[in-house]
Amino acid sequence: MKRLAILTSGGDAPGMNTVIRAIFNKASREAVEIVGIQYGFLGILCKNFVSLEAEKVNDAIAAGGTILYSSRFPEFIEENVQLEAIQILREENIDGLIVIGGKGSQEGAAALTRLDFPTIGVPATIDNDIPATETTVGFDTAVNTIVTALDKTRDTANSHVRTFVIEIKGRRSGDLALWAGVAGGADFIVIPEQTANMTQIADKIKHSIERKKKHCLIVLAEKVMSASELTTRLKEEGILHIRQIALGHVPRGGTPSPFDRVWASKFGSAAVQFFLNEQFGCCLCVQQNQLVAVPFEEALAKQNNRIDLSLTLLNASISY
Ligand code: F6P
């Protein structure tokens, strides 16, 4: 019986458990043994190999987080650590590895591929920061969570005629802020992919208040600056009725949306099929709504970034 190992790595994302379930169920049908590795790449080095139980895996379809646990393990960037991991995987008779995670995790998977270990990547992160894919498992759920938060924030902003700066995670990508900002009716979306002019933003806010607009929501991607820094800068520009919120890790939790569950199921099942076909060295991606396998180097290349900046044009900055 072939042995296929799976791990979840980096920041957890809603739907990771659904990927695990899909892998497990497809593998069971194909008589492939699934070996779970707890706590991501670190778990290989610590030899945290576990077997999965059908009941636990299937019950987890609606659960946020990851039943395999995750970790940050920056040391995995070093080749000697990667080689040690491969040696352990070989000692455990592992025939292939599926890495479920975001960009950093797929970089780890790419490194194992370069060192000739059969690896397949499944994109799962709220950040949607893997350049070659239109979506990652967890992104849609996180967008939904943030939009709920924005709608609630608008209520209180309206009551007090206030401006709110809402800081959103996303690592180096502004895609989460962009989608949530558009869907949540943000008046401004500040992301690393575009430059923002504070004076211009402040002038527009003042103008809108003069015209009796009651609220202003500014969605800010974390890597541009912090919510408190942006708030301070806008205060310096004369915007005094202003508050700040950092949503932090909240959008990483919660039950995955149906959209994330469907893609998670497709990715999980396809990953096992790629293993059976001995097609390794690629990250599964969504392109034009189709599941495709993209070689790691290409999947991670900056120039293949599929962020849709035309969405920023939909963000009507206070026109009444
Ligand atoms: O990758 C997911 C993410 O939540 C990013 O959006 C954020 O920059 C980072 O993880 C936070 O990392 P940590 O979980 O280590 O605090």
Q: Which atom of ligand 1 is nearest to the CA of 72?
A: 15
pLDDT category at 317 given cuts 50, 70, 90 is low
* Same domain for 245 and 150: yes
CA of 252 to the centre of ligand 1 (A): 9
Judged against a pLDDT cut of 80, whether residue 315 lies above it is answered with no
Taking alpha carbons only, the member of 24, 22, 21 closest to residue 4 is: 24
Q: What total number of domains does the chain contain? A: 2
* Same domain for 172 and 129: no
Which pLDDT tens digit goes with each residue over 275-289?
999 999 999 999 999
* Same domain for 72 and 20: yes
Q: What's the whole-number mean pLDDT along residues 19-25?
A: 98
Q: Which atom of ligand 1 is nearest to the CA of 13?
A: 2
Residue 316 falls inside a structural domain: no
Closest protein CA for atom 3 of ligand 1: 11
Which protein residues are within 6 Å of ligand 1, measured from CB?
A: 10-11, 72, 102, 125-127, 169-171, 222, 252
The upper half-sphere exposure of residue 68, i.e. CA atoms within 13 Å in the direction of its Cβ, equals: 39
Is 59 part of the annotated catalytic residue set? Answer: no
160: Cβ contacts below 8 Å, ≥ 6 apart: 241
CA of 249 to the centre of ligand 1 (A): 7
* Same domain for 170 and 53: no
- For residue 285, the SS3 value is strand
* Same domain for 206 and 290: no
* Same domain for 93 and 163: no
Which pLDDT tens digit goes with each residue over 153-205?
999 999 999 999 999 999 999 999 999 999 999 999 999 999 988 999 999 99
* Same domain for 120 and 32: yes
User: At which residue do the structure tokens 């059908």 appear?
Assistant: 54
Q: Which domain does 67 fall in, by range?
A: 3-138+256-304
